[in-house]
Amino acid sequence: MTIRPATATDAQQIVAIYNHGIAERQATFETRPRTPDEVVDWLDARGPFLVAADGDTILGFARVSAYSTREAYAGVGEHTVYVSSDARGRSVGSTLLNALADAAEQAGYHKLTSRVFATNTASRALHHKTGFTEVGIQRRHAKLDGRWVDTVLVERLLGEARDYDSAL
Ligand SMILES: CC(C)(COP(=O)(O)OP(=O)(O)OC[C@H]1O[C@@H](n2cnc3c(N)ncnc32)[C@H](O)[C@@H]1OP(=O)(O)O)[C@@H](O)C(=O)NCCC(=O)NCCS
């Protein structure tokens, strides 16, 4: 398995993995399937966008998007990670997420954060394994298919923010 930056030629496989994740209803409030062109647009975002590949096969992807337009939060990135259903449970997700954190730190981010559905056992285990902290539960954060969903806020400090306490 290789971890490398995503390219436009990966878009078809990435969108298939993402749309499968949408259909499963455990990872995101999004319900509209995306197109490969929309994935190509993600390549223009500031944050890192990585894939795990086995030869020509994309096993999963992880990316950082903007958390906020406020300047003070420029170092906070919102991350996502999706692994193809065939490739789950083989450390693809944890390898991708650790690589994403390293790439985000190198790009100047001081924190990655995301909201995980409280019922998403796999994602909560993945985040625990990769050094994220669950900092709170957002109750009834939004509705999916007409039902309220609780989300768990996770975060991982990077670089200067991670090292701040020990510097005191
Ligand atoms: C969440 C997801 C990315 C995990 O990817 P993965 O490649 O299967 O994860 P890994 O193999 O690296 O496993 C990481 C840890 O999670 C645990 N884990 C993985 N799937 C699990 C499951 N279904 N139930 C319980 N624990 C699970 C693993 O055991 C491992 O912990 P361990 O090493 O202590 O045993 C994958 O299940 C997925 O793509 N799900 C759909 C999309 C999604 O939910 N994305 C996250 C949005 S917040």
Q: Tens-of-pLDDT digits for all 168 residues of the chain? A: 999 999 999 999 999 999 999 999 999 999 999 999 999 999 999 999 999 999 999 999 999 999 999 999 999 999 999 999 999 999 999 999 999 999 999 999 999 999 999 999 999 999 999 999 999 999 999 999 999 999 999 999 999 999 997 665
Reference 79, options 26, 9, 2, 153; nearest CA is: 153
**pLDDT of 65:** 97
Every domain of the chain and the residues it spans: 2-167
Q: Which residue has the tokens 């924190």?
A: 111
pLDDT at 165: 77
Structure tokens at 167: 């510097």
Distance from the alpha carbon of residue 125 to the mean position of ligand 1, in angstroms: 6
Residue 14 host element (H or E): helix 11-24
- The model scores a pTM over 0.95: yes
Residue nearest to atom 10 of ligand 1 (CA): 91
Cα 157 to ligand 1 centroid, rounded to whole Å: 21
* Beta bridge pairs of residue 155: 113, 133
Residue nearest to ligand 1 atom 22, measured at CA: 122
CATH class of 2-167: alpha beta
Which residues are within 8 A (CB) of 67 and not within 5 positions of it... i.e. 6 or more apart?
Answer: 73, 76, 77, 78, 113
Ligand 1 pocket, residue 26 CB under 6 Å: yes
Cα–Cα distance, 119 to 166 (Å, whole number):
34
Q: Return the residue matching tokens 């670089």.
A: 159
Measured in whole angstroms, the distance separating CA 52 from the mean position of its chain's CA atoms is 13
